[in-house]
Chains A and B, each alone.
Chain A
Amino acid sequence: MKMEKGNEKYDKVLEMLRKSEPVLTSADEITENVLKIISGKTKKRADLTEVLDFMFSWTYNVWVRRSLITAAAVMVIIFIYQQGVILNQINQLSRQINDSGWNASTVNMRYINNSTLLFRFRERLYPAGKTDISDRKVEELLRSIDQLKKEYKDLHELIENDPELKRLIEKRLSEIDGNKTKL
């Protein structure tokens, strides 16, 4: 009985609510506010268009403008990429210099070989008639390099075979460098 009464009241309340439609009293105010907001947003968009017009107004051809914008964007990307590569190479070189110490005592045979190889190639790339150095001098230089390499090798073997001499040289090099050098 109580439940039925509750249901009845529930239905009456709902009926009241359904019948009563809320009334919008200040429709004009809302309309004006909405138009104000959207005209503000449209103005912002128009400002951006104005800036683009100012920058690219010398041509009104749409595809030219788009191509220019694309080209500019691509160039910026390439520039940034290039800077990255250069920076990376500089860092790598700095690291190599730090690692190798870069002094006369650490210049090894590999370095000499690479240098002479490049020099020999140079002879092919630039015929003798066009260089300042004569063929004879180049041959003499290469011969002396070969001789130097042979002597370096002999000296290395000599030092390796004589522990006393090796210790003495290491001690002497350490005095010069200030570091303990191992041959």
Chain B
Amino acid sequence: MTDLQLIEECRGGNFNNFRKLVEQTSPFAFSLAFRMLGDEDLAKDVVQETMVTIWQKLNKIRSAEAYTTWIRKVVINKCYDCLRHKKQNHEYRADDKTWRHLSERISQLPSDQLENDQIAKIISMLTDKLSPRQKTIFVLSEVEAMTSDEISEVTGMAKSAIKANLYYARKNIMERIGKYL
């Protein structure tokens, strides 16, 4: 994903190199943040904060693989904090019309990509009853297709807790799908 040489050049305080690094990293970080949060503006804020954190801790990065893992870790932790905060303020409620629309899309299974707002709507519809932790595990495991080892490494959660959260998340989403779709 990224070149270690570019990271090493950024350590010297070169803004132009860091610009390249931000351009390379942002789409990946945004994709992850957007899937977790289902909100474009919040996801952009998380990406911005993540890139600033990277700039401050560039010296700690030893390899390109470690960089990718570390980016994931920072984004996921920031998103998790956001979700916990968001849960108290705002909760998405889907109406019947939206569910019907989703049902139609599933039956058609379009080959073209969904728009950002459609992705956000689907994720929110499916996960709005889940706790921040369950939602995080669901997105990482089912949408991002991360293994439980990777999730454990990134979130610091025990594998048993990951499995339990994933089980409840799946159960809840299946119930919603059975009820509305």
B-binding residues in A (CB < 8 A):
2, 5-7, 9-10, 12-27, 29-31, 33-35, 37-39, 41-42
B101 to A: closest C-beta gap in Å: 13
Which of the candidate stretches B11-19, B61-69, B155-163 sits at the interface with the other chain?
A: B11-19
B176 to A: closest C-beta gap in Å: 10
Q: Which of A10, A16, A22, A35 contacts B35 (CB 8 A)?
A: A22
Residue of B nearest to A27 (CB): B26
> Quick check: B142 and A14 within 8 Å, CB to CB?
yes
> Quick check: A10 and B174 within 8 Å, CB to CB?
yes
B92 to A: closest C-beta gap in Å: 16
> Quick check: B122 and A13 within 8 Å, CB to CB?
yes
Chain B residues within 8 Å of A13, by CB? 102, 106, 122, 126, 177
Q: Which of A2, A14, A30 contacts B51 (CB 8 A)?
A: A30
- 20 contacts across the A-B interface (CB closer than 8 A): A6-B178, A9-B177, A13-B177, A14-B142, A15-B109, A16-B105, A16-B109, A19-B114, A21-B113, A22-B30, A22-B34, A22-B35, A22-B116, A24-B47, A30-B44, A30-B47, A34-B22, A35-B15, A35-B22, A42-B13
B173 interface residue (CB < 8 Å to A): yes
Chain B residues within 8 Å of A30, by CB? 22, 26, 30, 44, 47-48, 51
> Quick check: A7 and B143 within 8 Å, CB to CB?
no
On chain B, the number of residues with a Cβ less than 8 Å from chain A's Cβ atoms is 42
A2 to B: closest C-beta gap in Å: 7
**Binding site secondary structure of chain A:** helix
Chain A residues within 8 Å of B119, by CB? 17, 20, 22
> Quick check: B106 and A9 within 8 Å, CB to CB?
yes
Residue of A nearest to B178 (CB): A6
In the complex, A131→B68 CA distance in Å? 87
Chain A residues within 8 Å of B110, by CB? 16
Chain B residues within 8 Å of A5, by CB? 178
B23 interface residue (CB < 8 Å to A): yes
B152 interface residue (CB < 8 Å to A): no
B81 to A: closest C-beta gap in Å: 19
Q: Which of B35, B102, B113 contacts A19 (CB 8 A)?
A: B113
> Quick check: B26 and A31 within 8 Å, CB to CB?
yes
> Quick check: A6 and B174 within 8 Å, CB to CB?
yes
B95 to A: closest C-beta gap in Å: 18
B154 interface residue (CB < 8 Å to A): no
Known contacts A24-B27, A30-B44; decide if A17 and B51 are in contact (CB<8 Å). Answer: no
> Quick check: A34 and B51 within 8 Å, CB to CB?
yes
**Which among A18, A22, A34 has the greatest number of chain B C-beta atoms within 10 A?**
A22
B123 interface residue (CB < 8 Å to A): yes
A44 to B: closest C-beta gap in Å: 12
